[in-house]
Amino acid sequence: MIAVLRLGHRIMRDKRISTHLGLVARAFGADVIYYSGEKDESLLASIDSVSKRWGGGFRTEYRKNWREVIREWPGQVCHLTMYGLPVDDCAKELRECKDLLVVVGGAKVPGDLYEAADFNVSVSTQPHSEVSALSILLDRVFEGKELKKDFGGDIQVIPCKNGKNVKMKEGVGEVYE
């Protein structure tokens, strides 16, 4: 089981980044994303709507108290931070975790998170994006196999050299882009 915990969501400012984090968590093989910060029903609904059409058992949940999520977590906790140890040095250990909670910071990361985490892991030591950091981390954990995962959804894309080839179950109209 792999879960992602997104800290400090702000409705006005973070809507798109938090949406992308949820979509990345799902597409790259995590089972659930927990959002903390401001409660945002439409954020959860937009990810759930993708899961409904595109398949898989991905879940979203709002959790007011993120420290509780960490306390209750049965396995290891991996905090993504540009100050941590290189992801490729930790990948083997991360793969061996039975239950992994990946914590993605928000605007201000509380200092006790570094202590609460079993791993503080960085994806390069340069500033970039929590979205790319999460995708690379999950890619290392699943060793690239996540990109071939079959979600068995109502909408399926058939890879092609040029143009679009989309297979839709009857009654499914709109394609998410």
Site residues (vs a second copy, CB under 8 A)? 13, 16-17, 20, 23-24, 26-28, 50, 54, 82-88, 114-115, 120, 122-129, 131-132, 134-136, 139, 144, 146-149, 151, 156-166, 176-177
Residue 173: C-alpha distances to residues 108, 128, 155, 158 (Å): 41, 36, 9, 17
Of 11 and 82, the one with the shorter C-beta distance to a second copy is 82
d(Cα 105, Cα 127) in Å, to the nearest integer? 13
CB of 102 to a second copy, least distance (A): 14
CB of 79 to a second copy, least distance (A): 10
CB of 52 to a second copy, least distance (A): 12
DSSP state of 79: E
Residue 100: C-alpha distances to residues 12, 134, 167 (Å): 29, 13, 33
Of 64 and 107, the one with the shorter C-beta distance to a second copy is 107
CB of 74 to a second copy, least distance (A): 22
Of 64 and 67, the one with the shorter C-beta distance to a second copy is 67
d(Cα 150, Cα 103) in Å, to the nearest integer? 25
Task: Decide if 134 contacts 37 (C-beta within 8 A).
Answer: no
Of 63 and 149, the one with the shorter C-beta distance to a second copy is 149
